[in-house]
Structure 1
Amino acid sequence: MRAGAVSRPAGGCAGGADARRAGGVWWRGLAGAALLLALAGCARYRPAPIDPAATAAALTARRLDQPGLVRFLRAMSVAPDRGFGLRALTLVAVYERPGLKLATAEAGAAAAGAVLARQVPNPTLSLSPTFNATQANPSPIRIGPEISFLLANFGARQAGIAAADARVAAARDMVAQAAWQERGAVRAALLALFIDRRALRLSRRLAGTAAEIETTIAGRAASGMLAASVLAGATQAADRARLAVAEARRRRDDDRARLAAAIGMPVAALRHAPLSFAAFAHPIPPRDLPALVRRALVARPDIEAALARYRAADAALRQAVDSQFPGLRIGPGYEYDQGDNKFVLSLSLPLPVLNQHQGQIAVARARRRVAAAAFERVQARALARIDVAAAAWRGSRAVLRAARRLEVVAGRQDAQAAAAYRLGTTGRLRLLEARRGALLARSRRLAAEAEMLRALSGLADALEIPVFRETPA
């Protein structure tokens, strides 16, 4: 019987044992291969804790001469030892400011979303072992793996990828927008410091002239040549001039603090830093304003970002429509069924008979309408901002021309008073009054020039074009 058992055909007990061994080997090989593939694709978590005390210490310790920053500036062809002008300070802001880092990180998150949209769904491994207690021969075991694959709707997949790519484009445009905003903040802070430093110097000269007038009038009042009321008026004027100096000094210190904030540095970092204001000596007024307006309304980063978000919403709607038929799931498999080797193929397809994806389509359609309205709002706001900035710039230029004419007249009168004083035909008080008149005219001209520079800076922000350069053309 033992020999007969050995010589039984493959369908007998011996054949079943061979099949069982073959099936076990096949199954172990498949499981091992699946395990290796899974382990090969596994990512590892690396903790990245944030220590507020350490970040605060690093923030307060920032300096313009820190080695990493100096290497970055030199790599960008900027020599820190020659002074920090508009370009150098803008690069410091790019290096230190968290706003641009946040926009860059958000662009990275959008790029990760594009990777997610492109990834292929993993197959599913199913295993349903059973044991038939009523049939022990040839084998009570029934076991077999099944691997199913999702054959996704190609149109929906491509639409999802297009939506993710549009979100990446929008995020990158917002990086450019953040970079321009950082540049604008640095320019505005440096310009304010430039204006208020000039105002402080002129205020000191006015205060000195007012003090001389007060001293001269006090001498004449003591000799009885002028009334005490005239001296009181001169004293009040001198006090107001000294108050103007204190206010100008306060504005200068505030501007330095705002500039430090704009470049992401503590204010102590600017205390002894050599600053350059050469950029404001060579403004570049826009020559073809209508062409610049047309360009800005289609090429500003925030407008391009709004358009990219609309394209993402449109692609998401197409994805929702195409996802009414999400795809086909196919599952080839093997089954060892009580001594028999069986190969199976399962197919599954969702039946869109209850909702046809109406909810997702309605949401996607509404979001596309929102994105379209948002684009129109961004473009309209850009145009309104450009119009306001252009009107302010034109008006400031007219005021500056009038202020320059007044300064010329006051300067001529000052020169005439000085010549008359040298000839002895007028006294010192007349000379000082003419000098104060010339200084006041210069103060009005500087104020008008400051308003023109601010208006030009605002127009630059509205058009997003550079208008200041640190070297003459």
Structure 2
Amino acid sequence: MPLDPSGHAAAWEGRSPSDEKVRDFARRIETSAPRSVSFDPSDGLTLAEGEIVALVYNHDLRVARLKAGVAKATAEHAGRWDDPELSFDVLKVTEGVPNPWVVGSALSVTLPISGRLAVEKARADAAEQSELARVAEEEWETLRDLRKAWLEWSADRLRLQETESIVGSLDSAVETTGKLTEAGELPRTESTLFKLEQESRKADIARLRGKVKEGEQEIRSLMGISPGAPAKLVPTLASGSGKDRGKLADTNPTLIRLQGEYAEAELVLVREIRKQFPDLQLGPAFEEDQGQSKIGITGGIPIPILNSNKGGIATAKAQREVARAAFETELERTEGRLASMRARLSGAQSRRQSIDSNVVPLVDRQVEDARSLLEIGEGGSLVLLESLVRAYEAKLDLIEARLEESVAGNDIRHLLGPDRLTAKTK
């Protein structure tokens, strides 16, 4: 099965959020999800719809699911008996005898009386579950990264709109101050300040347009679609923070995976302990010596008095302690980060409400008053310029506060975990 880079590239470029594969997955989610899920990208791709596309086409998730398939294949064939062993001997008596050949053969089968094969099967099943939990964890992390990229792209679009708006306001102000300068009613130094501010904001527009394009391509990459795939993204700065659904150990995907890895480590220890108890080798034997045939049974059993698999047991115990520490420290870290994110969310909400309710209305009124006074010749131009800049900065602050609030909510939602895990091996 040789690689086909050109064929795969063509298939990738042909992917679309409207593909039947994505629609089929959306229908399955709609059937099994606790809440209604609507999927119709024809009128623009929303964040919720983009999450569905990412679960289907994301590059890293494809590899993660295939790795889980390896663990599944291993579990399906774990715990099998060892193959029987056939041995034979052919000897010749060197001194002259009527029948100088001595022929012997034996067929031995290992009887797993130690019970290690059953434990190995259980360990392989636990390893498969751990890999599925890892896939679920990577799915949830992918959705977190997608939501964050979508929020930041949406914020950049709003910053671009506000920057274009102030440039439009400065256009009329530059025209007005220019006329006043020509009439000798305003110093040229003051009218030049408007022009300088205008050109500076035009440079910001060019930078923000680049950031918007870059952000869109990052979103497309996370969804697993090509840069030219037909997809009109719908901006949003809304992101829920999720609700507590019980203990973090039962809902957080990382903690669920670490618990699975600890269960696997315990089964590895049980397997190593079972290896202390020997398995019996038993089977029929045949021998022909000087024309006489002999039939019987051959058997063997190791005597565990020197090795007793002490090294394997000690290693398994140490690995189990590592798995325990990994879970316990991650639980502590997650609880601490959750408290930190909730404090950040509270601060961001207070800041956003203050800017939205107090600062923005004040600066908007100040701009209108300053413009009216300048038009009738009773106000200074610098007051208008300062008012325009302050209004612009206040709106950028509001966008930043909304983004910080949404990102904090997204982080909280990630730590709390999904409503249900969506890991699949296919």
- Quick check: TM above 0.5? yes
TM-score (norm 1): 0.76
Match of 2:318 in 1: 366
Structure 1 residues 416 and 230, CA gap change in structure 2 (3 angstroms):
closer
What is the CA distance between 1:349 and its match in structure 2? Answer: 0.9
1:380-391 superposed matches below 5 A = 380-391=332-343
1:107, 1:132 → 2: CA distance? 58
Tell me if structure 2 keeps the 8 A contact 1:333–1:345: yes
SS of 2:224's partner is coil
Unaligned runs of 5+ in 2: 28-38, 420-426
Secondary structure, aligned partner of 1:117: coil
Matched residue, 1:37: none
Give the match for residue 231 of structure 2.
273
| Compared CA separation, residues 93 and 382, structure 1 to 2 (3 A) | same
The amino acid across from 1:239 in the alignment is E
Structure 2 matches for 1:93-108, cutoff 5 A?
93-108=54-69
Partner residue of 2:395? 442
The Cα shift of 1:441 comes to 3.4
* Displacement of 1:126: 2.0
Give the structure 2 partner of residue 400 of structure 1. 352
SS in 2 for 1:273: coil
Q: In percent, how many aligned pairs have the same letter?
A: 25
| Partner deviation per Cα, 1:129-172 (whole Å, 9 max, x = no partner) | 44557443xx6555454221112243433332232222111111
Q: Does 1:157 align with 2:117?
A: yes
TM-superposed deviation, 1:299 = 2.6
Asked if 1:70 corresponds to 2:12, the answer is no
Which has the larger Rg? 1
Q: Distance in 1 between matches of 2:65 and 2:278?
A: 34
- Contact kept, 8 Å, 1:70 with 1:80, in 2: the verdict is no
Instruction: Tell me what 2:422 maps to.
Output: none
Give the structure 2 partner of residue 226 of structure 1: 186
Q: 1:96 to 1:113 in 2, by over 3 A?
A: same
TM-superposed CA distance for 1:383, in Å, is 2.3
In structure 1, the partner of 2:224 is 264
Distance 1:316 1:338 in 2: 51
Give per-residue Cα distances to partners, 1:79-121, cap 9 Å, x unaligned.
3323222233223323322211221122122223323432121
Larger deviation: 78-87 or 390-399?
Answer: 78-87
- The residue type equivalent to 1:181 in the other structure is E
Q: Which of the numbers 317, 320, 323 marks the counterpart of 2:272?
A: 320
In structure 2, the residue matched to 1:207 is 167
User: RMSD value over aligned CA atoms?
Assistant: 3.0
The farther-off stretch of 81-90 and 50-59 is 50-59
Shift of 1:462: 2.5
CA distance in 1, matches of 2:2, 2:352: 55
How many Å apart are 1:342 and its aligned residue?
2.9
1:125 maps to: 86
CA contact (8 A) 2:134 2:257 kept: yes
Deviations 1:179-211 (A, max 9, x none): 112212222222222111122111101111122
CA separation of 1:348/1:241 partners in 2, compared to 1, >3 Å: closer, same or farther? same
Distance 2:276 2:71 in 1: 26
C-alpha distance in 1 between matches for 2:418 and 2:356: 27
- Give the aligned partner of residue 412 of structure 2: 459
| 1:28-61 Cα distance to aligned partner (Å, 9 max, x none) | xxxxxxxxxxxxxxxxxxxx333455545555x3
Q: Distance in 2 between matches of 1:297 and 1:231?
A: 63
TM-score by length of 2: 0.84
Aligned partners of 1:257, 1:87: CA distance in 2, in Å? 18
1:284 aligns with 2:240: yes
The CA deviation at 1:401 is 0.9
Residue type at the aligned position of 1:360: G
Task: Compare 83-92 and 162-171 and name the one that shifted more.
Answer: 83-92
